[in-house]
Amino acid sequence: MPALANVDAVFALLEAGGGAAYFGEPVTVLEHSLQSAWFVQRKGAPDTLISAALLHDLGHLLHGEGEDAADRGLDTQHEKLAAALLEGHLPVAVLDPIRLHVAAKRYLCHANPRYLAALSTASVASLALQGGPMWDTEAEAFLALPYAQDSLALRHADDAAKVPGLAVPELAAYRPLINALWR
């Protein structure tokens, strides 16, 4: 899959497909993306992590499998699609948390049974398709990755970003941030 040519194309993709329902959750893809970015921004995250949070689910706008993909037993590997789409334009500090946010869910399910118990129904369904909770050796390898901690922070924002009607900054507020990182 070719990378997007510029920031305008990324924002057009978010605007065009972002109104779609977010895979069994009570928000749209765009609402979820904006909430994710806002949650990490409120915690003082660096611009790279804010950008990763905003863009982490772009792959959901590309796979074409529909909102019921998990119900049909499909792992769309949306995290890989998003990273591939942005490859060559954004730094690894943005791309790796995007690539790792599903692995972060698997790690958290391994490390904390209460985390697993608190997942939404839709997230539990996709977890099974994504490999389930990590094993001990997988968890150790995951924690050794350079952007593991950022991907965990992104994962927590991802889990929280499902609040219908939450007032957060609009997409245009993030354009200067993405422009500054774009190569």
Residues ≥6 apart with Cβ < 8 Å to 20? 28, 29, 61, 67
Instruction: Return the ∠ at Cα 17 (arms to 127 and 51), rounded to 5°.
Output: 70
* More confident site: 123 or 136: 136
Tell me whether residue 69 is in a domain: yes
Write down the mean pLDDT value for the chain.
89
Q: What does the block give as tokens for 126? A: 């996709």
Q: Does the pLDDT at position 77 exceed 80?
A: no
Q: What is the pTM of this model?
A: 0.90
Q: Which CATH number goes with the domain that contains 81?
A: 1.10.3210.10
pLDDT at 122: 78
Tell me whether residue 20 is in a domain: yes
Q: Count of CB atoms within 10 A of residue 1's CB? A: 10
Q: Which residues form the domain of 121?
A: 7-181
- 2-30 burial, b at 16+ Cβ within 10 Å, e below that, comes to eebeebeebbebbeeebeeebbbbebbbb
Tell me whether residue 94 is in a domain: yes
Q: How does pLDDT run across 46-72, given as a tens digit for each residue? A: 999 999 999 998 988 875 555 655 566
Contact 55, 7 (CB under 8 A): no
Tell me whether residue 151 is in a domain: yes
**Confidence bin at 128 (pLDDT 50/70/90):** confident
Name the domain count of the chain: 1
pLDDT at 124: 86
Tell me whether residue 1 is in a domain: no
Tell me whether residue 64 is in a domain: yes
